[in-house]
Amino acid sequence: MGEVAGGVVQLGNNVTCNVIAKGTIRFRMHDDVVRTLTDVRYVPELKKNLISLGTLEYLGCKFTSEGGVLKDFQDAFVIMKAHRSGSLYTLLDSTVIDPTAVSISDNLSDFDGIKF
């Protein structure tokens, strides 16, 4: 994975972590459909991968939450399901496909104005 300088992620406890790369990740979801997330930030200090609901909403997704289960809709189809544990949701039945095939942007302007 190539390095790209720029951007930070601020966590809930006000700790900031540097973003060192940006790329595309593919997941096999609960329904065996492969989903692609683009503009994924690589933050090596994080032990878990985070998906920004704000970014998904910007891309046209809608969400419902009931009984500790979050459902992500796009065009009336459920595209992701997540289960709540505490205040965080964990993606259900998903598998990262070929994580070595991540494409990386080396264009620093891609990081302009990024906020999490």
Tell me how far apart the alpha carbons of residues 54 and 10 are, in angstroms, rounded to a whole number: 14
Mean pLDDT of 50-56: 79
CA distance 77 to 90: 19
Rounded to two decimals, the pTM is 0.57
DSSP 8-class letter at 57: H
- Residues 45 and 11 sit within 8 Å (Cβ to Cβ): no
Bigger pLDDT: 97 vs 62:
62
Cα of first residue to Cα of last residue in the chain, in angstroms, is 22
Separation between Cα atoms, residue 4 and residue 103, nearest integer Å: 12
How many Å apart are CA 7 and CA 81, to the nearest integer? Answer: 28
Question: What CA–CA distances, in Å, run from 21 to 10, 46, 87?
Answer: 16, 13, 27
Question: What mean pLDDT is reported for the chain?
Answer: 74
Percentage of the chain beyond pLDDT 90 is 3
Check residues 101 and 79 and name the one with the higher pLDDT.
79
Residue 44 confidence (pLDDT) above 60: yes
Query: Structural domain boundaries of the chain?
Result: 8-109
Reading the block at residue 46, the tokens are: 């994080």
